[in-house]
Amino acid sequence: MLIRGGERPSPGEVLTVPDLAGPLPRLRLLAVTLPCVAVVALTVLRHTVVADRWPAHGHLLLDGFLTIATAVFAVAMAATVEQRHRQVVQRSLDLAAIETVAAAARRAHTPDDVAHSCLRAVLDATGAASARLDALDRLDPESDTTTWQFDDHPAATGAPGRTLPLTCADDPLGTLTIVGEDAVAHPLTDAAHAGIATTVASALHRARHLAHLHHECHDAALAERDRIAREMHDSLAQALDAAHLRIHAISAHPDLATSPDVADELDDVASLCEEAYADVREAILGLRTSAAPTHTLTQALEGYLAAWSRRAGVPARLDVETDSADALPPHDQNHVLRVVQEALTNVRKHAGAGCVEVRIGHGRSRTHVTIVDDGCGFDPADPTEDRYGLATMTERAHLLDGTLAVDSAPGHGTRITLDLPTPPPAPHPYVPTPERTTDASMSTSTMSTSTMSTTTPRATTIPGTRHAHARATS
């Protein structure tokens, strides 16, 4: 690849620099030395041998010889310069092709994005009709895709192809197959193809390493959340539950019958313990609920709403009109899940709602997650209200490149809408077929993918029962 000032090549990337330091000094030396040597030699001959042996016509022979030698020297120099020029132009074309692929690889991060960006860049750099990347193993722990293909001209995909091995740091990653190259518009050497393959391999190696690190960090975070949840359950939750039961037992003591003030105070303390216990149980539920590769965001929301409804005693409904939120990366799905959890916590603690509805909708390349309740509502502009929960939800919305809108008024319930960009549809693995058919209606650039099934809206209702003191056993 071509390295600009201030940049460093990634491990395993090819650094190709035109080798012009050697030929140019030699060419300059010959261009100066040979004419001088020839002039000196002819001058010596003119005044010695020619003047003694051919005084009449010797100078004509020397002039003719000088003319012929000058012409031969000029032709040789022109041929040498032209050859070097062709080499420089060819090397510039090779470096430009490698740089095109390297620039596309630098803009991508996940293995899937790197594969698509590099294949698109390979088609642009080589003018090929088709490019396919076959990985030996999964590059992303969260994806089963091992083959990607782009076809710029599907009718020409049967042309002879070139298969390049992808290896980085002695680690074989797979192969890159380029079919139907345009050798006239994009004349590339074998060294350029090797540089392209090495650049693609280095980008895939880096992306695979980052994907595994991200997966390990995600698993570590989930394990830590489970550990904290267990610690809270075994210590704080148990202590609050025991304190609540002991306070109720003390309140029932006959000696307190003659002390109504003390009994009322104990009831208030018991209510505080019960509320704190409910908060701890909800925090434990939130810690143990997360979007993971084994289930989608919709499935995580269904399970959380069912558990929340049982604990809060408030019927909760999940209305899913699109599966676009399930296409978000797991980290982003967790942000969406935490926003819903915080909103439902506020409903349980402050709203006094009779029912709650969570909706996932889609419109104009945006995904909308809406939490609606029929509770008491509040004034969002009131500066005296505690806004820590709303601030946290707003921060998560900004991390998703989205926005959070709060629509509420006293006595009219609350509507919280999380608006975020819809991710592009996940590509399906390329499946090679024995024969290819050409469709005139195909676009200029199509990617081979499987047909995606149509998602129909679905609604899941989680019934809840209202009761004074919700308790849940582990």
The residue that leads in pLDDT, 351 or 448, is 351
Beta bridge partners of 368: 361, 419
DSSP, res 411: T
What span, in angstroms and rounded, lies between the C-alpha atoms of 35 and 71? 12
Q: What is the pLDDT of residue 247?
A: 81
DSSP structural state of residue 289: -
| CA neighbor of 368 nearest in space, from 408, 308, 321 | 321
If residue 467 lies in a helix (H) or strand (E), which one and from where to where? none
Which amino acid, 303?
G
Cα angle at 337 between 111 and 219, to 5 degrees?
Answer: 50
Phi, psi of 299, deg, nearest 5 = -65, -40
Largest CA distance in the chain: 153
As given in the structure block, the two tokens for residue 345 are 């916590």
The per-residue pLDDT for 294 is 56
35 closest CA partner among 69, 76, 79: 69
Phi/psi at 22 (5° precision): -80, -55
Specify which of 25-34, 323-332, 354-363 reaches the highest per-range mean pLDDT: 354-363
What pLDDT is stored for residue 453 in this prediction?
36
Please determine, for residue 122, whether its predicted confidence score (pLDDT) is greater than 70: yes
What average pLDDT does the segment 339-366 reach? 86
Q: Comparing C-alpha atoms, which of 333, 341, 305, 329 is closest to residue 416?
A: 341
Which has more pLDDT, 429 or 355? Answer: 355
- Which of 77-86, 231-240, 259-268 is most confident? 77-86
Q: Let me know: does 147 contact 133? Beta carbons within 8 Å.
A: yes
**Which of 297 and 153 is assigned the larger pLDDT?**
297
What number is the average pLDDT over the span 440-444? 34
Angle at the Cα of 234 from the Cα atoms of 233 and 236, rounded to 5 degrees: 65
Band (pLDDT 50/70/90 cuts) for residue 332 is: confident
Contact present, 108 and 204 (Cβ < 8 Å): no
Name residue 19's amino acid.
D
What is the pLDDT at residue 289? 66
Pairing of strands 316-320, 356-363: parallel
450: DSSP letter: P
Give the tens place of pLDDT for each residue, 170-204. Answer: 889 999 999 888 877 888 888 889 999 999 999 99
Lowest-confidence range among 96-105, 119-128, 284-293, 445-454? 445-454
- 291 pLDDT band, cuts 50/70/90, is low
- d(C-alpha 187, C-alpha 185), whole Å: 6
Q: CA-CA distance, 454 to 452, in Å (whole number)?
A: 7
pLDDT band at residue 417 using 50, 70 and 90 as cut-offs: very high
Q: Which two tokens stand for residue 145?
A: 């895709």
Q: Is 227 strand, coil or helix?
A: helix
Q: Are 116 and 166 in contact (CB under 8 A)?
A: no
Q: Which residues contact 206 (CB under 8 A, 6 or more apart)?
A: 10, 114
Summarize the confidence of residues 355-371 as an average pLDDT: 87
Amino acid at site 195: G
Predicted model pTM: 0.56
Q: Which residues pair with 419 in a beta bridge?
A: 368, 403
Return the pLDDT at 203: 92
Asked if 207 and 111 touch (Cβ cutoff 8 Å), the reply is: yes
Distance CA 202, CA 212 (A): 15
- The contacts of residue 448 (CB under 8 Å, 6+ apart) are 149, 150, 151, 430, 431
Highest mean pLDDT among 10-14, 20-24, 78-82, 278-282: 78-82
Burial 79-93 (b: 16+ CB within 10 A, else e): eeeeeeeeeeebbeb
Phi, psi of 416, rounded to the nearest 5 degrees: -115, 125
**Higher-scoring residue by pLDDT: 366, 20:** 366
